[in-house]
Structure 1
């Protein structure tokens, strides 16, 4: 086997070595993404501990803002660790990233709450999220490249698909740990301190990951480049100046990372928030459903990766993007109807209309400035859809065309009175436990979302590895991937939550995913190489068919 850029010949790893590479890289990826996702899985409790506010919607948005901050620093981590990975090696770079992630995650579990140390608490948590984002910016590129550079070209999509499945595995592991902790720790104790246990568990996962990764050797491609003196002196600069790389980075950013990341976070995080938020499903039941769907969906990524070795990397991504545009809203409409059928029926039979001058809702305000805005805030926190009517006169509320008298100046009792008025019109605010058949339907729809994610993600590690020259591969693929995943995907819960809060429509946040996906589809169709899988060839700055470099 030769390197993908035509450098010195290298020995092919044995089957045993490749199995160890896949197992260690995948386990490390699961643990590292577990560390990152546990924050989102426990969003409500983290909000109460570190971002307390009189506005429940604002409290949750602040949690998602902290979630987004970690993602916002992923590109910086990609630049830093991409530089180290291309200069010093793949193995030791992602040893550093997993260590940094484990320590930062455990730190969140040790920070005193805002009730004890005030504003210092959220500041420390945001600082730890930044460290997590930096670490994650170096993790994916390292793990994906490490596996890809060990894999035979004709099996590269299959072998690297385990890295994609491991990202879902991190989400699944976070839910398993949370469910286990909820089972073993009484509910009041879990809300008070037990939620910290999943964060502290990351130290044990870190020890296992380090033990496995220390058993690995350096990537054979990097070893060959280093022995031939062909490593890059400045991978970041060369990534921006290498012939044709700007175009490839643009395609990787919007046509690959942008496409995969918005459907991934919509499928798993938006789906989780949607079911236990506006649809009011029982939290433990929601987590169990997401666990089942996640476990099933992990296999889809491996199937798609293997399929891409036969049909190429472009076809699955294009199919997945088109299917997402067609199916996204119907899937969520279906989940809404199955999880809380009474809510949709109540909204149809007893629509809510709020009227009044200056009637708008600011989700980031701790208290709304107008009485009409306070009504909208109450409806949003209750998960009730509404429309804004006549923009003149005093604030007023109508349910099923009947006026409702409320003491709008009574901040303490207004929401309770509003809830009573809605319940009198048929709205049910109890936690929902749908019948078994409905639960099966919800799992099936979540699995469809998982398949859409797998189509756009399953072949990506192989695709990005093949798009860029080996000497700057770590930097060139990590930077666009983490800009796309960090900003387009990481801000999805925050942006979608803001849209839902501003419109009063539980489904309106999906438009963010739809628009990003539509633009990404155009870029992917234009820029991703078609045909069979292709290796990058340093000699002409383009790609050559895998068969030309296969053993």
Structure 2
């Protein structure tokens, strides 16, 4: 770990590049955040449209199997994220932060746009799900390189005493990306109507990605490289082999493993439970109509997002570890009663339309729906879950950046982050939905995130050290 700072600001090295000094911290945050929001938007519209994708890209006959297949495809994007962290983390430590996250942005945008124009199963048969999985893998690779670059870039411009505060703005991007994806889907669906949206309108949110990526590139291209990286490069101190230095060095590998099991694994499951699984649970288990579900999630996200900055800033004063561990523990203890309360406030489920015979002779099943959900209480319960998210996620970028040296920072921090979020967190919707389907117990799926969050709390409380006040230039 780097040397403890006196709390004074990190001064960009003069004589290296006046261009690097010309970027204000707010320019850096705005440009980095804009691109990262778009990458998260691209990544999450897939999950938000899982039921529509299931109908188009997988053979029909069993809706649950098709939906689980889509969730599995969704999960592949998470599982491959650690490989993206290795590939692009290495590039970021070799050639620089800025150029690397420009590459990842175009890779993500291209894959997302292609999903929007990909023919379905009825047109190209088994090639449809195969190509879909490949595009999802590209999305995961891109996101595996994006976050570490953006977080490192902002952190290396930030003063030591306010690093939690400034990097917390990057932490809002995942939630904002989810919020924008839900908003775009909702507007498109309302504008086109259910039938047109189901037939072809679901493609529009994917196609919009191309416009967003071009706009983000224009903003990001004006930035200069991180001053810490430029200083290191000018002095000839960049790593020749970031992967070897990160994972063959026992001391650094120990830090990577502690960061994973003592911080990011629990953070990942809390993030995906509080936002993605909450949406899936309301829509698929509680049978609340999609409009109400999106409204509940959207309002909860609007009111909770500022708390990323609140807890990021608080971590500059009392430390990163205390807040993250408290978030994991409170979430683990609270999930069962929260989801029981969600079930209670969803109200009774009734048949709102009877089974009918379609034009092609197929049976259209009856529609079951919660008829009188308490929207206010459901929104409050989701809001509470997202507060847990802000506690574990707000400080974590600063924690990871401060844990590793500049020469291998991009590589070292990216891997535990993306294994924790991509594997442990990203599998929450699939594992929880599968366990509920297998057991018939609507709360059984929560065992997975509760277990991981508790493991992280125990390991993190015992073994990780706080990084607040570290001077990352040392």
State whether TM-score is above 0.5: yes
2:437 counterpart of 1:501: yes
How far does residue 498 in structure 1 lie from its aligned partner after superposition? Answer: 1.0
Shift of 1:433: 4.6
1:322-380 residue CA offsets vs partner (Å, 9 max, x unmatched): 101211111111111111x225xx9xxxxxxxxxxxxxxxxxxxxxxxxxxxxxxxxxx
Q: Does 1:465 align with 2:401?
A: yes
Q: Are 1:529 and 2:444 matched, yes or no?
A: no
Stretch deviating more after TM superposition (463-472 or 293-302): 293-302
User: Any gaps of 5 or more consecutive residues in structure 2?
Assistant: 351-361
Spell out the pairing of 1:73-88 with structure 2 (5 A cutoff): 73-88=80-95
Q: Does 1:431 align with 2:369?
A: yes
1:53 deviation in Å? 3.0
Q: CA 1:61/1:325 → structure 2, altered by over 3 Å: closer, same or farther? A: same
CA–CA distance in structure 1, aligned partners of residues 251 and 176 of structure 2: 35
Q: What is aligned with 1:342?
A: 348
Per the alignment, residue 256 of structure 2 pairs with 249
SS at match of 2:471: strand
- 1:442 pairs, out of 370, 378, 389, with 378
Q: Tell me whether 1:145 sits opposite 2:81 in the alignment.
A: no
Return the offset for 1:532. Answer: 4.1
Q: Return closer, same or farther for 1:3/1:105 CA change in 2, 3 Å cut-off.
A: farther
SS at the partner of 1:430? strand
Distance 1:100 1:464 in 2: 25
Which 4+ residue blocks in structure 1 deviate beyond 4 angstroms?
2-5, 11-16
Aligned positions of 1:242-321 closer than 5 A: 242=249, 244-321=251-328
Partner of 1:188: 195
Per-residue CA deviations over 1:41-85 (Å, capped at 9, x if unaligned) read: 001000000013311111111001101111111111101100100
Aligned counterparts of 1:335 and 1:14: Cα–Cα separation in 2: 50
SS of 1:130's partner is helix
1:101 to 108, 133, 137: 108
Q: Which runs of 5+ in 1 are unaligned?
A: 347-411, 420-428, 539-551
* Distance (Å, rounded) in 1 between the aligned partners of 2:209 and 2:221: 18
Partner residue of 1:480 out of 416, 421, 432: 416
**Offset of residue 246 of structure 1:** 1.5
Q: Which residue does 1:373 correspond to in 2? A: none
Q: What is the Cα deviation at residue 9 of structure 1?
A: 6.5
What SS does the aligned partner of 1:431 have?
strand
Q: Which residue of 1 aligns with 2:454?
A: 518
Structure-2 separation of matches of 1:446 and 1:110: 34
> What is the CA-CA distance between 1:3 and the residue it aligns to?
11
Q: Secondary structure at the match of 2:156?
A: helix
Which residue, out of 34, 50, 53, partners 1:46?
53
Out of 8, 13, 20, the position equivalent to 1:10 is 13
Who is 1:178 aligned against? 185
Q: Deviations over 1:210-248 (max 9, x none)?
A: 011101110011011001111000001100133521211
Cα distance, 1:506 vs structure 2: 1.5
Q: Determine the structure 2 residue equivalent to 1:217.
A: 224
Residue 356 of structure 2 is matched in structure 1 by: none
Work out whether residues 3 and 10 of structure 1, in 8 Å CA contact, stay in contact via their aligned partners in 2: no
- In the aligned structure 1, how far is the partner of 2:383 from the partner of 2:11? 44
User: Are 2:61 and 1:123 equivalent residues in the alignment?
Assistant: no
2:426 corresponds to = 490
Question: Higher helix proportion, which one?
Answer: 2
Residue 311 of structure 1 contacts residue 531 of structure 1 at CA under 8 Å; is this kept in 2? no
Shift of 1:430: 3.5
Q: Distance in 2 between matches of 1:527 and 1:220?
A: 32
Residue 457 of structure 1, CA deviation: 0.7
Is 1:61–2:64 an aligned residue pair? no
Q: Given that residues 467 and 535 in structure 1 are in contact (C-alpha distance below 8 angstroms), is that contact kept between their aligned partners in structure 2?
A: no
Q: Give the aligned CA root-mean-square deviation in angstroms.
A: 2.2
Distance 2:3 2:139 in 1: 32
From the superposition, tell whether residues 147 and 433 of structure 1 become closer, same or farther in structure 2 (CA, over 3 Å). Answer: farther
1:325/1:518 contact within 8 Å kept: yes
CA distance in 1, matches of 2:295, 2:66: 25
Indicate the SS of the match to 2:101: helix
| TM-score, normalised via structure 1 length | 0.79
User: C-alpha displacement at 1:507, in angstroms?
Assistant: 1.3
